Chains A and B, each alone.
Chain A
Amino acid sequence: MRRLWQLFTGRGHAFLIGGLIIVAAAMVAGQRDVMRIGLLLAALPIVAAVLVARARLRLSCERSVEPARVPLGQPMRGRISLGQAGRLPAGILLLEDTVPPALGNRPRFVVDKADLSWRREIEYPMLGRVRGRFHTGPLTVRTTDPFGLVQLDRHFRATTEVMVTPVVEALASMRSAGGAGSAGEARPHRVGVTGQDDVLVREYRHGDDKRRIHWRSTARRGDLMVRREEQAWDPTASVLLDARAQAHAGHGIHSSLEWAISAAASVAVHFLDDGFGVEIYEPDGSMHIAGNLGQHSSTSSELAISRLTDLRSRATGSLHYAVEAADVDQAGQLVVAIMGRMSPRDANSLLRLRRNRAQGLAMVIDVDTFSDETTGERTRRQHELATEILVDNHWRVVRVQRGISVAQAWSGLARLGAVA
């Protein structure tokens, strides 16, 4: 009963109630002419409800989105193919596809044919305006009548997943970065790929860590031998991504956070392509990209992009967890920090991170240029101070303003390296 009542629109309710009241009043007053008006008002919604609600729909729907994965800011095309076999109900079919507001307006169309069977294909544009995973669909079929008295919404089940990834830019290789300090070539080769025999050893010196004693060589040589500097050969890069909400400004696709994530993705993919092991750290800790998959760069970059797609800004106030996680991993000799608005405390924790690293690269985003709102003088000064701290401690720092692409910022870092 309740469902039946909800079938009517507001106008339908008014017609039904008003019509019945008029009929009753006219019957009492003996006004047959007036009674007809009431009867018509009451009959219209009832007839409409019978014809619209009782009708069964035999519609088939196929849906797809081309392409299903786009970088941020790129267009997509949704496609719906609708078929009908069997008689249409008396009502008007209004169709609407559910599209998340992040991707665009919900496309709507009406069934324009009263034939027995037909096929209809429509396409609608979408734009990846927000990074993340989305579902388009299900398609909603609204059955209504031309007088606007009843309305029945039904849904298909099928949905389509759409992924809007961060923008990955191709970066020029940087001679001075990868494997710097250990070999003259850009692409490091892995130690131990062909077995453990290649291990370079040297004689034990006082103060060497006992855990680094290479027992097999020691047995062969009779002297204590230790493994030599494998850290220098470990081609690992750590990317520290400052995704704290408070460190960023601006909205949507052109916010500083999106720039930072895009930069992190580009750097990570760049190093993965170069055969590095890459780990990304965000303010809440490691993103677990390295690990077992470390050797297969293509799956790793998929994983990195996927993880970065899902990344949301963090409420964490400090970089403590990120630095801790990176510290624990102890990996690599290269750290790339992509920083938003910093305080001297953030800079100091970064310094801790670099203690074991050969290289520290930092892209420091000038967040204020991404937003209309200006920050306080104090915050600005602190940010400047933090940047100075990094520079003073031999980090290569490039200041990024709005409008500079990731590739430009990267080549800026490369130039700094050449100068150094």
Chain B
Amino acid sequence: MRSSDRLILASTVAVLLISFTPQPLTSDSSYLGQAWLLVIVLAAVTTGLRRARLTAGFVFATQVAVLTALLFVFSSLVPGRGEPWYEHYLQLWGQGIEHMQTQAAPMTPDAGVKIIFVSVLGVIFIVTDLLVSALERPAWGIAPPAAAFAVPAIGLGIDTGLMAFWCLALGYLGILIADGSNRTARWTRGLSRDSADGFGTATPVVWRAAGLIGVPALLATAVLGLALPTLALPGPGIGSGSGRGGALQLTDPTLDLRRNLNQAEDTVVMTYTSDRPGGLYLRMASLPQFDASGWRNVQMRLESGTRLPQIPGVGGDSGERRETTISVGNFGSEYLPLPYAPRQVDVAGDWAYDPNSLVMISGDRSGRDDAIRDLTYRVESVDIEPDPSALTRAVAGTPADSNTTAEVPTDLPEDLRQLTRQVTKGADTDAEKAIAIQKFLRSSKFTYSTEPLPGSGYRALENFLLRDRRGYCEQFAASMAMMAREVGIPTRVAVGFLPGKRVKDNTWEVSIRDMHAWPELFFAGYGWVRFEPTPAAQTGTPPAWTVPRAESSTEESLNPTEQPSSEPSSETSAPSAGPTAGADDTSADGGPRWQQRLVGTGIGLFVLLVMAAPATIRFRRRSARLTGEGEPAEIVEDVWAELRDTVIDYGGRWPNGSPRTIGSSLGSRLEPSDSAAMSQVALLVERGRYARTLEPDGLGELPAMTQRIRRGLAPDSRLRRLRAVIVPKSLFTRRKI
């Protein structure tokens, strides 16, 4: 095997191994296929080019070209949106970055994220190959894979385990072994006869030695890595120690919903006392993210505490204050059921809230599912009950998280958009449009059924809205939220409980089949307002503010759910949730997002710093040499050393011999004027070394002359000039004396 092949093979294996390490970041491992194909194609191309002994610059350029071409091919496999192909790739990147910003690990599948992973792995291969083969610094081959390793290792804030580390370590050891094999293979020379076959290729010895040294080192690393303590400093540490760092795994609330609705027995799960007539909707979770896979949770920035901040979009506590005592029975969840909008919660345990949705989540790391079981707590809340006549004139507002809640997916099917336009045709204001949508969904065209057509994401919505028009609370809430968002109103889907059944004065019982989903719409000045598109048979009359004054003649509408839907028919009355596509698990990150950004920026800066270090050192050395201060002989020697380093930087060889010989041999490559300067410098060096004294006059021009000679020595190839700046060879070669 050729030595170049060996290094490329080792780099390839290292990158293929490292491709496993981002797996904790995403639930979709399909990026592996394209990434491996890409890396293997790149490796094959590189092998061919290296065998043909083409220059490093050409090989690098070809690698980049192949990478670009393949990435465009991969991006074109994703259904396009009608843009030209080159924009399509960039769009995918944008989509992927957005996905990564809004999602917590493990992310749900996304074509953009996939293309990003594939691209990054391709780039890692090229950089690894550049370091290992082109620049011949195999020891640095750990840097690019380590960067890929560090993203989950540092970014996730949890211990990614030994497997990822072994992927990195084995790949790197492979590169080192390949380098060692090459060195050993180069060692043999000058033999005319050898009793060993093939002049003693030492491959078996190399592998044996690598095993004897590498295995104990790896084992020691594994043991020590577990045994050694790590300090977790308080404050701005980036660790996963105590404190609130790290991600909390949250279950999808709609899974809870579905599971609980399917309970065979309708048991009472909680009771509460409230003085509000008609009881309270108890909200648990909020799903602000809408895309092709349906409504989902997003990454939340949690803050600890039980006194909640200002209600989003509402100026002051204008509504009526309520005090509610809730006792949860045999029901487990990590979400705390609260009436909207909560102001202060008096609850035992570790709880955190999301300031955008005012959802409270258990901060415990274990036993999260049972966080509310047998819990009794007291909530102070404010009613959000807009005046119906005023609301009709309301316009859509802009909440703090509008990048999520107001975002209409660009790939929303046209028929859904058309339907929305049709439904809201007559409405003038945003609120009227919302009311029109609710009216449309509550109309007799739609039937409540637990057996909708199968499907997920857009397809589920299309089935529900355009085809069989059968569904349950999940479909109704999702459709209304989608349509309202399409007409420009920020929306989200809330999951929780209906008010339940009144058992005594002010005491209400909520059973498991009271689980429900409803949309919340954001209006300027009113904040998040609850709507109720699910038919009256299940939810009673709609909220008063959602019905135009002409229709809302009855005042009972203020008590919309006096008779919970579960009463009339025990079998099918309970609002239930359709399956939400895709999202199995989503999590919220406990650490503020800026901290993650800080870590990311820090890593980026560190990498930049490391990459810039050689250039900086070289630059400082040069400016120190060319100050023109000090003893005349020293100035001249400094200039001489600078010229030597320049020649070496540009990939040349410093000739042997006296200063004069060197001066003339270098001068022959230069323009006549620079050549004269060169020989003048050489003469000065000679005089500085051998003459008794060196007159200091004429030394003032030396730095300028040196710069001129440096320019003259620069090679034509831009790549080599760039390399001389970024990776100055003179820093890495030991000075030969």
Contact A36 B165 (CB under 8 A): yes
B210 on the A face (CB < 8 A): yes
Please tell me which one of the listed residues B202, B221, B237 contacts residue A36 in the complex, with CB atoms under 8 A apart: B221
From 1 to 54 in chain A, residues with beta carbon under 8 angstroms from any chain B beta carbon are 11, 14-15, 23, 26-37, 39-40, 43-44, 46-48, 51
Given contacts A32-B225, A90-B209, A146-B209, contact A112 B217 (CB under 8 A): no
Partner among A11, A35, A123, A145 whose Cβ is within 8 Å of the Cβ of B192 = A123
Known: A92-B184, A147-B180. A122 touches B191 (CB 8 A): yes
B165/A37 in contact, CB under 8 A: yes
Complex formed: what's the CA distance from A112 to B201 in Å? 6
A120:B188 contact, CB within 8 angstroms: no
Q: Which residues of A contact B149 (CB under 8 A)?
A: 33, 37
Nearest B residue (CB) for A11: B139
From known contacts A92-B184, A109-B194, A124-B191, infer whether A114 and B204 are also in contact, taking CB-CB under 8 Å.
Answer: yes
Contacts A111-B202, A146-B206 given; indicate if A28 touches B233 (C-beta within 8 A): yes
Of B193, B206, B218, the residue contacting A40 (CB under 8 A) is B218
Check B540 for interface membership: any CB of A closer than 8 A.
no
Partner of A31 from the list B190, B205, B239 (CB cut-off 8 Å) is B239
What is the bound-complex CA distance between A11 and B176, given in angstroms?
Answer: 11
B736: shortest Cβ distance to chain A, in Å? 15
Chain B, Cβ-Cβ closest to A90: B212
Chain A CB within 8 A of B615 CB: no
Binds A, one of B26-34, B152-160, B374-382, B434-442: B152-160
Which of A100-108, A274-282, A324-332, A364-372 is near enough to bind chain B?
A: A100-108
Complex interface bits, A73-116 against B, C-beta within 8 A gives 1, otherwise 0: 00001000000000000111110000000001111111111100
* 8 Å CB interface, B124-161 against A: 139, 142, 146, 149-150, 153-154, 159-160
Q: Which residue on chain A has the smallest CB distance to residue B230?
A: A30
Q: When chains A and B are docked, how far (Å) is the Cα of A14 from the Cα of B239?
A: 26
A121 adjacent to chain B (CB < 8 Å): yes
Instruction: Using CB atoms, name the residue of chain A closest to B178.
Output: A146
A123: which B residues are within 8 A, CB to CB?
191-194
What CA separation (Å) do A26 and B214 show in the bound complex? Answer: 22
Given known contacts A36-B225, A40-B217, A148-B183, is B237 in contact with A29 (CB within 8 Å)? yes
Question: Are the C-beta atoms of A48 and B200 separated by less than 8 Å?
Answer: no
Given that A14-B139, A145-B213 are contacting pairs, would A114 and B241 also be in contact in the complex, using a CB cutoff of 8 Å?
Answer: no
Contact present for B230 and A27 (CB under 8 Å): yes
The interface centre, meaning the residue of B139, B153, B213 with most chain A CB atoms within 10 A of its CB, is B213
- Asked if residues B194 and A146 are in contact (CB atoms below 8 Å), the reply is no
Q: How many residues of B contact A (CB 8 A)?
A: 65
Q: Say whether B232 faces chain A, with CB atoms less than 8 Å apart.
A: yes
Q: Which A residues lie within 8 Å of B188 (CB)?
A: 108-110
The answer to whether the Cβ of A119 comes within 8 Å of any Cβ in the partner chain is yes
Chain B residues, CB < 8 A from A43 = 216-217, 220-221, 224
Chain A residue with Cβ nearest B225: A36
B229-242 near A? 1/0 per residue, CB < 8 Å: 11111000111110
Q: Within the complex, what minimum Cβ distance (angstroms) separates A138 from chain B?
A: 17
Contact flag A146-B176 (CB < 8 Å), given A104-B190, A106-B190, A114-B204: yes
A40 proximity list for chain B (CB < 8 A):
169, 217-218, 221
A125 at the binding interface (Cβ < 8 Å): yes
Assess the A30–B205 pair: CB atoms within 8 A. Answer: no
Max count, chain B CB within 10 A of own CB: residue among A77, A107, A124, A146: A146
- For A94, give its contact among B165, B184, B237 (CB under 8 Å): B184
> How far is B162's CA from A32's CA once the two chains are assembled, in angstroms?
10
Given known A-B contacts A44-B217, A146-B210, A114 and B205 have beta carbons under 8 A apart: yes
Write the nearest CB–CB distance from B9 to chain A, whole angstroms. 16
Asked whether B210 lies within 8 Å of A147 as measured between CB atoms, the reply is yes
Question: Contacts A34-B150, A121-B195, A123-B193 known; A27 to B165 CB distance under 8 Å?
Answer: no
Tell me which residues across on chain B come within 8 A of A33, comparing CB atoms: 149-150, 153-154, 159-160, 164-165
- Point out the residues of chain A lying under 8 angstroms from B735, CB to CB: none
The answer to whether A92 and B191 touch across the interface, beta carbons within 8 angstroms, is: no
**B638 proximity list for chain A (CB < 8 A):** none
Identify which of B139, B224, B233 contacts A39 (C-beta below 8 A): B224
Cβ-closest chain B residue relative to A33? B153
Given contacts A92-B202, A111-B205, contact A47 B217 (CB under 8 A): yes
**Distance (whole angstroms) from the CB of A417 to the closest CB of chain B:** 47
Contact of B187 among A35, A110, A114, A145 (CB under 8 A): A110
CB-based contact B220/A147 at 8 Å: no
Contacts of B139 in A (CB 8 A): 11, 14-15, 148
Query: In the complex, which residues of chain A have a beta carbon less than 8 angstroms from the beta carbon of B190?
Result: 104-108, 124-125
Decide: A109 near B230, CB < 8 A? Known: A31-B238, A146-B206.
Answer: no
CB distance from B624 to the nearest CB of A (A): 24
| Chain A residues within 8 Å of B224, by CB | 39, 43
Pair A29/B195 contact, Cβ less than 8 Å? no
Selected A-B contacts with CB under 8 Å, 9 pairs: A11-B139, A27-B228, A28-B233, A30-B238, A43-B216, A146-B181, A148-B176, A148-B180, A148-B183
Given A30-B233, A33-B160, A113-B196, 12 more A-B residue pairs with CB atoms under 8 Å apart are A11-B139, A36-B225, A39-B228, A46-B217, A48-B217, A105-B190, A111-B200, A112-B200, A114-B204, A120-B194, A120-B200, A123-B193
